[in-house]
Chain A
Amino acid sequence: MLTELQRELISLAVGGRLLPAEEVAFRALLAESCDAVALLQTLQSQAARLHALPRAALPAGRSATILRAIAKTPAPVGPSVTVRVPARSGRSWLPYAVAASTLLAVTGGSFWAAQQSARPGANRPAELAKLPVVNPQDPAAKPGLIATDVPEPGLPAPRVVNPAELARVEPPSGPELAPEPRVRPAGEIVGSGAFQQRPNLATLDIRLPILTTASKLDQPEVRTLTAAEVNSSPAVRLDLFSRDTLRGIQALQTAATTAGVTVAVDGLTAERMKKNQALVWAVYAESLTADDLAKWLDQVAVVNREAGKDAPFGAAHLTTAAGPESRDLRDLLGVEPNFSKRIVAGVPNSVKASTADQVAQAMSKPVKAAILLTYAPANARTPATMSAEVKSFLTGRGDRKPGTTPVLIVVRPTS
C-alpha cells in the first residue's frame, strides 16, 4: 500500500518535474514496489490520453467577430501614471513642517556664524577691551608690552596690557591638514575580495527507467532505448512483471535457449520450481552484450505475444543497476560484482603462447552463461556457498569481456 507521499512522488514524476533528491526516492520506490510501478503506468497512460485529445479550434467566423468587436472598442492607451494624492484629513504635513523649520534654523544659524567670523577683528577676544591702557611715554612701561603702532589722530591712545593678566597663544602657522592615511598590510583587512565570474547553471540530465510492456520489447523504438541504456550503464536491471511467476520464469528460460543463452538453474531453485512455488525469481548474467540481451528480449516478446491472453508477462521495467542490486547479488552469489564502471573494448594485449590452453578451455564453455536463482522472499534464497551451480557459474565466468554488461532480470508478480 502506497503512502500519500509516495503517490505524490509518482504523480510528480508523471509531470516530469522531480528534484534530484526526489528522483533518488522515486527510483528506489519503483525498484521495491509493484504498486508504485502500476500507479506510474496508469497515471502516464492517463496523461498521454489527455494529451492526445483532439485539438479544438475556435469556430469559424468567431475570429472575425472578435476582430470586429475589437475594432469598435476604444483603442488602448499606454501605461497610466498613478499619482498619489495625500489624505486631506489629519495633520500629515506637521512632521514635514517641523523638519523644514529645523533645517532652516540650522542653515540660517550656520550662515550667521560664518558671517560673524568673517568680519575684521571678529576673532579679537572681548577681554582685550577690558585691559588697562599703557602710556608709551611712560618709562616704567616695558618695551615689549607697548603697542608699536602709532595711533591715528583722533583715535584713543593704545592701552597698556598687564602682562600678569594676559596669556598669549600662538595662532597656528598654517591650515591644519588631515593626517596621512595609514598604510595597512594586505592581510589586515577583511573583505569580500574580487567577485569571480560564476559559471552558468548546468542542465541536469535525469535518466529515468524505461517502462514498457514485455510484448513490445522487440519493437524498434524500445530496442533503441534498451540498447542505449545497456550501453551507457555499468549494469542493468530488468523487472518483468508476471501474473504467474513460475510460468514467467519458464518462458524466460525458453526465450534464453532460443537466443543462445545457457541458463544454469540452482539446485534448490529447481526443486522449488518443480513444486510450483510462486516466488520471485532472478536470472543473472554478466557475459552478455547489448546485442545478446536484445536477442533474448526479442524472444521474450515473441513468446509473450504468442501466448495471447495468457501472456506470461505484463510490464517490463529496465533501469540502471546500482547499490541495491549489487548488495542483492552479493547475497545471492557470495561475491559482490563490480558495477562501478563499464568495461569497454580497447586495444587488445598481445596473446602469449601460454594462453592457448586458456582459450581452448574458454571455448569449451558456454560463452553466454546465466544463473537462475530464487530472489524473494529473502529467506528463501539459496546460501551461495551451498549451491554447486553458483560455484560453477562463478568459476567459469572468468574476467569480464569488453562490451559486456551485467544484467539482473527479476521475474516478479504483478500487484
Chain B
Amino acid sequence: MNDSDRRLISECLAGRTDAFGELVVRYQDRLFNSVVRILDNHDDAADAVQDAFINAYVSLGSFKGDAEFFTWLYRIAFNTAVSLKRRRKQLVSLESARDGDASIDPVDHSEETRPGLALQRSEDEEVLQAALNRLSTDHRTVLVLKDIDGLKYEEIADIVGVPIGTVRSRIHRARLELKEFLEPEFGNQFPPEASKG
C-alpha cells in the first residue's frame, strides 16, 4: 500500500474523518469509470460507487493494509455492482412475469436513457459497450479491469477473488468472445497505430 493512502487511513482511524474525503476524491473517478463499463448505467454505477465508499468507510478498521487500498475498494465496489446487477435482473424478471409479457423491457428512468445521450457517444463506443454488455459479468469484469483500467493479473485476482490462472483464462475467453461480437462491426481491422508487440 502506498504511504499516502496509509497515512490517510491512519488519520481517519484516529478520528480525522476528513482524511477519508481525500481518498474519495482520489479514487472516485477511476472507480466510477470501471463500474460504469460493467453496469452500463451511470446512475447505478454512481450508486454502487457511493455504497462502496460508505462500506469502505464503515469497515476501514478491518482493512489489514496488506493489499492496496484501491484493490480493497474495488473489491467492495464490484461486489456491490454485481449484487446490484443481480437485483435488477431479478426485478426485471418479476415485473415481466407479473405483466405476462417478457418481451417488454422495463422502463428505465435513469440518466442513461435520456434522449440525445446516445448521440453524444461515439459510434465506436456504442458498439464496444454493446459488445461488452453481451459478455457474462465475470468475463466483462476481468476485461474491464485489464483492458480499460490497466490492472495487473495479480490485482485483478485480488479484486475478483479467484486465482491468477482463472483470471488469465477468463480474460482469454472474454477477448475471443468480444472478437466474435465485434467482427461484424469492425472486421479484422489493424490497430490505429503501429505497435511493438
Q: Is the CB of A66 within 8 A of B179?
A: no
Q: Indicate with 1 or 0, residue by residue over A402-414, a CB within 8 angstroms of chain B CB atoms.
A: 0000000000000
Q: Indicate with 1 or 0, residue by residue over B181-197, a CB within 8 angstroms of chain A CB atoms.
A: 01100101111111111
Whole-angstrom CA separation of A324 from B192 in the bound complex: 31
B66-74, B101-109, B169-177 - the one binding chain A: B169-177
Q: Is the CB of B37 within 8 A of A67?
A: no
- B196 CB, min distance to chain A CBs, angstroms: 6
- A51 CB, min distance to chain B CBs, angstroms: 6
A171-179, A218-226, A282-290 - the one binding chain B: A218-226
Q: Is the CB of B32 within 8 A of A45?
A: no
Q: Is the CB of B176 within 8 A of A11?
A: yes
Assess whether A29 is interfacial by the CB under 8 Å rule: no
Q: Is the CB of B54 within 8 A of A66?
A: yes
Assess whether B138 is interfacial by the CB under 8 Å rule: no
- When distances are taken between beta carbons in the complex, the residues of chain B under 8 Å from A38 are 188
Q: Please judge, given known A-B contacts A55-B33, A212-B195, whether A75 and B143 are in contact too, CB under 8 Å.
A: no
Assess whether B115 is interfacial by the CB under 8 Å rule: no
Q: Is the CB of B195 within 8 A of A48?
A: yes
Assess whether A211 is interfacial by the CB under 8 Å rule: yes
Assess whether A344 is interfacial by the CB under 8 Å rule: no
Assess whether A322 is interfacial by the CB under 8 Å rule: no
Q: Is the CB of A46 within 8 A of B182?
A: yes
Q: Please judge, given known A-B contacts A51-B150, A58-B29, A62-B46, whether A45 and B190 are in contact too, CB under 8 Å.
A: yes
In this complex, how many residues of chain A approach chain B with their Cβ under 8 Å: the count is: 58
- A298 CB, min distance to chain B CBs, angstroms: 14
Q: Is the CB of B194 within 8 A of A51?
A: no
- When distances are taken between beta carbons in the complex, the residues of chain B under 8 Å from A54 are 122, 125
Q: Please judge, given known A-B contacts A15-B146, A66-B53, whether A75 and B190 are in contact too, CB under 8 Å.
A: no
Q: Is the CB of B178 within 8 A of A46?
A: yes
- When distances are taken between beta carbons in the complex, the residues of chain B under 8 Å from A74 are 58
Assess whether A13 is interfacial by the CB under 8 Å rule: yes
Number of A-B residue pairs having CB atoms within 8 Å of each other in the complex: 159
* From A47, A73, A77, contact of B13 by CB (8 A): A77
Q: Indicate with 1 or 0, residue by residue over B150-165, a CB within 8 angstroms of chain A CB atoms.
A: 1001000000000000
- B130 CB, min distance to chain A CBs, angstroms: 13
B20-28, B78-86, B87-95 - the one binding chain A: B20-28
Q: Is the CB of B176 within 8 A of A53?
A: no
Q: Indicate with 1 or 0, residue by residue over B43-76, a CB within 8 angstroms of chain A CB atoms.
A: 0011001100110011111101000000000000
Q: Please judge, given known A-B contacts A7-B176, A73-B58, whether A51 and B148 are in contact too, CB under 8 Å.
A: yes
Whole-angstrom CA separation of A294 from B5 in the bound complex: 49
- When distances are taken between beta carbons in the complex, the residues of chain B under 8 Å from A8 are 168-169, 172
Q: Is the CB of A67 within 8 A of B21?
A: yes
Whole-angstrom CA separation of A410 from B169 in the bound complex: 34
Q: Please judge, given known A-B contacts A7-B172, A46-B175, A70-B20, whether A59 and B193 are in contact too, CB under 8 Å.
A: no
Assess whether B8 is interfacial by the CB under 8 Å rule: no
- When distances are taken between beta carbons in the complex, the residues of chain B under 8 Å from A221 are 193-194
Q: Is the CB of A222 within 8 A of B194?
A: yes
* From B50, B62, B182, contact of A66 by CB (8 A): B50
Contact residues, A77-93 vs B (CB, 8 A): 77-80
CB closest chain-B residue, reference A26: B197
- B25 CB, min distance to chain A CBs, angstroms: 7
Contact residues, A314-363 vs B (CB, 8 A): 314-315
CB closest chain-B residue, reference A217: B194
CB closest chain-B residue, reference A51: B147
Whole-angstrom CA separation of A113 from B197 in the bound complex: 82
* From A15, A49, A58, A80, contact of B49 by CB (8 A): A58
Whole-angstrom CA separation of A52 from B148 in the bound complex: 8
Q: Is the CB of A17 within 8 A of B153?
A: yes
CB closest chain-A residue, reference B24: A66
Q: Is the CB of B125 within 8 A of A16?
A: no
Whole-angstrom CA separation of A120 from B24 in the bound complex: 82
- A147 CB, min distance to chain B CBs, angstroms: 80
Q: Please judge, given known A-B contacts A14-B175, A16-B197, A46-B178, whether A63 and B188 are in contact too, CB under 8 Å.
A: no
Assess whether A43 is interfacial by the CB under 8 Å rule: yes
Q: Is the CB of A208 within 8 A of B197?
A: yes
* From B12, B42, B189, contact of A59 by CB (8 A): B42
Q: Is the CB of B62 within 8 A of A48?
A: no
Q: Is the CB of B57 within 8 A of A58?
A: no
Q: Is the CB of B128 within 8 A of A78?
A: no
Whole-angstrom CA separation of A119 from B168 in the bound complex: 79
Whole-angstrom CA separation of A69 from B46 in the bound complex: 14
**Which 4 A-B residue pairings sit nearest by Cβ, starting from the closest?**
A208-B197, A212-B194, A76-B60, A50-B147
* Interchain residue pairs with CB less than 8 A apart (11): A13-B197, A43-B175, A58-B32, A67-B24, A70-B53, A73-B58, A77-B61, A79-B64, A80-B62, A213-B190, A222-B194
